[in-house]
Amino acid sequence: MIHFFYDKTFDGLLSCVFFAYEQKRFPDMILSESDPKPLFMDEQYYVPTEKEKSQRVWAALEKKLSKTAQNMMLHVWLSELPEVEMLLFRYICKNINHSKSYEMNFGDDDVLRVKEIALKVSREAERLRMFVRFQEMADGVYFAPIDPQFNVLSLVVPHFKARYANQQWIIYDTNRNFGIFYDIHTVQEISFSPKDLSELKLGKLSDEKLSEEEAMFQKLWKEYFQSITIKERINLKLQRQMMPKKYWKYLTEMQ
């Protein structure tokens, strides 16, 4: 059994591909340094991340893969599923080894799996674009907590940057304890303390942190939502299909 250890970055994974071809040693498992080490290992290698080598691998893939396939790979990486490293490693090697395009060979389990995962990640990103709800804080910044299954924050930022270009906002991933702050000019990554994070996981900011107008509008919106509800026509099953329940705690009308 051959094991590669790397720094858990996409450039690191591409460096593993370069190392494998350079050393003619192909891994049975790719792990991060923090992962538990298997009891039995015939060979193990720590593969350092080297930007130049990762760029060479990516340049080779750009010649082989369409833009769609390249984006699918990045979506798979953002899924953070345990199988990602070896799946992408095999997928990359198969595309490099074949003279003709291999990305459409859906008879291959790895090609099919890459498409399946990429589609799931894309769907979650689209749902966040629809269901993200901002709350205006006392300092005028609009804040929206999220807790997606996949690490899709980077995929939705361009949408909100274009749509809310003239206001400051924060979208915060409470699962991964990091967020994006847009100050009208630039985008930067931020993180909060564990104490603040515990409140954010509730999905609603405390009243003292909200602006006066936000608190009033939330109250009005809840009253409006309640007034138009026809109890006899409530269909929770259909509601959950159209609006998955995991997003409810971030929707003012559902709180």
- 205 and 143 Cβ atoms separated by less than 8 Å: yes
Q: Each residue of 169-203: pLDDT tens digit? A: 999 999 999 999 999 999 999 998 887 787 777 77
Q: Each residue of 49-83: pLDDT tens digit? A: 999 999 999 999 999 999 999 999 999 999 999 99
CA distance 253 to 163: 23
CA distance 30 to 16: 9
CA distance 206 to 49: 43
- Which whole number is the average pLDDT over 143-148? 92
- Name the amino acid, one letter, at 217: F
Angle at 68 between CA 156 and CA 107, to 5 degrees: 125
Nearest to 162 by CA among 142, 126, 187: 187
